[in-house]
Structures are given as C-alpha cells and as structure tokens.
Amino acid sequence: MDDTACYTCPHCGEPIDLPVDASAGPHQRFTDDCPVCCNPNVIRVEFDDEGNASATAEAE
Ligand SMILES: [Zn+2]
C-alpha cells in the first residue's frame, strides 16, 4: 500500500512527492499548489488493485 505518489509539475518540471489517502477512493482529482513554484495543478491520483498509487498533474 503506497501512501505517497510522485508527479512531475507541468509548470517547473520538478518531481513532487504527494501524500495520498487510499481511503478517499480509488480515483481522486483535486487541485494542489506546487510546493516548488506555487502554481496550481490539477492532480489525478489512481490506485491499482494492489493499492499502489500513481499520480498525474496538469496545469489548472
Ligand atoms: Zn512547480
């Protein structure tokens, strides 16, 4: 079971580690500010059958 996922910020290209909560559902979508460049990103988090998280981000 993962409790972090990694995405690449579309604004600054930095890899960002993101804390995730599997109890919030297998498909999650929310807005988060990049901790490096402070621009807002739309984050999508998905969990596979084994509970491994993957995240993708796009510019809001
Ligand atoms: Zn950024």
Is the pLDDT score of 2 beyond 80? no
DSSP string, 1-60: --SEEEEE-TTT--EEEEE--GGG-SEEEEEEE-TTT--EEEEEEEE-TT--EEEEEEE-
**Model confidence at 1, in pLDDT bands (50, 70, 90)?**
low
Q: Return the SS3 of 23.
A: helix
Whole-prediction pTM: 0.87
pLDDT for 30 equals 96
Domain regions of the chain by residue span? 4-59
CB atoms within 10 A of CB 9: 18
CB atoms within 10 A of CB 2: 16
Please tell me the distance between residue 10's alpha carbon and the centre of ligand 1 in angstroms: 7
Please tell me the distance between residue 41's alpha carbon and the centre of ligand 1 in angstroms: 8
pLDDT for 20 equals 95
Tokens at residue 20, please? 């995730």
pLDDT digits (tens, 9 = 90+) for 14-50: 999 999 999 999 999 999 999 999 999 999 999 999 9
pLDDT for 8 equals 97
